[in-house]
């Protein structure tokens, strides 16, 4: 599927070494890379539909210090959607109150018909982008009914319910950022880890340094991070994702089409 990474801290820190380690995993996730940093309250998004270790653009980026309080990265193994730039993570979208949202996803949505209506609205054709558009609609509905912008806590509670529902029968390792809060969720064993230290909070699909204090992210809960600390934690749901033969066959069939398209282009 994919790998995801985020760094969350109360002060800007340089994260080049962790990112370099993260992107080295792209041999098994060759269908694109993405990087998001926050600068002056704006997302700086860079991404390409090529293997990270083969990207001159990414090499140039990493040759300079990557410094930030909130940094997100993604490497893609496509399971839904073509290998094109609009399908590379991160995805961004603004809600009706001009709050910018960002999402990266490791997983596949096998069963959630409510996302289908966003196929004609998204820029690419991934299930991950549809998740973000769906969340934005739910936030807009909530704030319209309230008649005012939501508080951080209200947004967390809203997303806790959405993520719990979305995780039924679907792999939903996901990171979301709304400009205030970083949301972290995993529902598959041994697929997301975190490290809390003096520098801040690191979360990644696999550890990105040799520190022995990496721990598995607690499954089936949504966590909210601010300034390197967990400030919100949802109740636990029951939707652990267990990879089965059905899921494997579905992904294999998609990858066959990806490989065939690649051969046709040569």
The answer to whether the CB of 132 falls within 8 A of the CB of 162 is no
Position 225 scores a pLDDT of 98
Averaged pLDDT, 53-82: 94
**pLDDT exceeds 80 at position 256:** no
Kindly give the interhelix angle for 152-166 and 127-146, rounded to the nearest 10 degrees: 140
Position 259 scores a pLDDT of 52
Identify the residue whose tokens are 């065939």.
260
SS3 222: strand
Position 257 scores a pLDDT of 63
Q: Compute φ and ψ for 74, nearest 5 degrees.
A: -150, 140
**pLDDT exceeds 70 at position 68:** yes
Q: Compute φ and ψ for 217, nearest 5 degrees.
A: -65, 130
Identify the residue whose tokens are 């990207």.
55
Identify the residue whose tokens are 């820029």.
123
pTM of this structure = 0.93
Dihedral class, residue 259 (left if φ above 0, else alpha if ψ from -120 to 50, else beta):
alpha
Position 263 scores a pLDDT of 44
Averaged pLDDT, 252-264: 58
Dihedral class, residue 189 (left if φ above 0, else alpha if ψ from -120 to 50, else beta):
beta
**pLDDT exceeds 70 at position 11:** yes
Position 266 scores a pLDDT of 30
Distance CA 211, CA 197 (A): 10
Instruction: Express each pLDDT in 90-122 by its tens digit.
Output: 999 999 999 999 999 999 999 999 999 999 999
Position 39 scores a pLDDT of 74
Q: 81 versus 196: which is more confidently predicted?
A: 196
Tokens of 138: 């739910």
Residue 176: pLDDT band with limits 50, 70, 90? very high
Position 85 scores a pLDDT of 93
Q: 243 versus 181: which is more confidently predicted?
A: 181
Averaged pLDDT, 241-263: 70
Distance CA 137, CA 130 (A): 11
Position 262 scores a pLDDT of 45
Of 264, 206, 180, the C-alpha closest to 22 is 206
**pLDDT exceeds 60 at position 241:** yes
Position 254 scores a pLDDT of 67
**pLDDT exceeds 90 at position 66:** yes
| Average pLDDT for the chain | 92
SS3 161: helix
Q: Which of 49-63, 75-89, 133-147, 156-170 has the lowest mean pLDDT?
A: 75-89
Full set of structural domains in the chain with CATH: 2-265 (3.60.20.10)
Tokens of 203: 């979360």
Residue 24: pLDDT band with limits 50, 70, 90? very high
Position 141 scores a pLDDT of 98
Residue 243: pLDDT band with limits 50, 70, 90? confident
């Amino acid at each position: 599927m994919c790998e995801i990474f985020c760094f969350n801290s109360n002060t800007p820190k340089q994260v080049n070494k962790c990112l370099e380690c993260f992107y080295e995993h792209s041999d098994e996730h060759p269908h694109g890379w993405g990087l998001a940093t926050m600068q002056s309250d704006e997302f700086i998004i860079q991404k390409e539909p090529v293997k990270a270790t083969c990207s001159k653009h990414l090499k140039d980026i990493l040759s300079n210090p990557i410094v930030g309080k909130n940094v997100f990265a993604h490497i893609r193994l496509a399971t839904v959607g073509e290998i094109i730039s609009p399908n590379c993570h991160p995805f961004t979208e603004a809600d009706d109150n001009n709050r910018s949202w960002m999402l990266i996803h490791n997983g596949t949505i096998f069963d959630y018909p409510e996302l289908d209506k966003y196929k004609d609205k998204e820029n690419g054709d991934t299930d991950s982008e549809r998740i973000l558009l769906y969340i934005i609609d739910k936030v807009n509905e909530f704030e319209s009914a309230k008649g005012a912008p939501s508080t951080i806590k209200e947004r967390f509670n809203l997303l806790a319910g959405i993520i719990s529902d979305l995780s039924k029968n679907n792999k939903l390792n996901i990171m979301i950022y709304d400009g205030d809060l970083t949301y972290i969720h995993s529902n598959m064993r041994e697929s997301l880890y975190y490290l809390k230290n003096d520098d801040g909070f690191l979360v990644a699909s696999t550890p990105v340094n040799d520190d022995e204090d990496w721990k598995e992210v607690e499954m089936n809960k949504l966590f909210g991070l601010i300034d390197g600390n967990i400030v919100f934690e949802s109740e636990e749901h029951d939707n652990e994702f267990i990879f089965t033969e059905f899921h494997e066959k579905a992904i294999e069939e998609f990858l066959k089409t990806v490989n065939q398209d690649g051969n046709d282009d040569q």
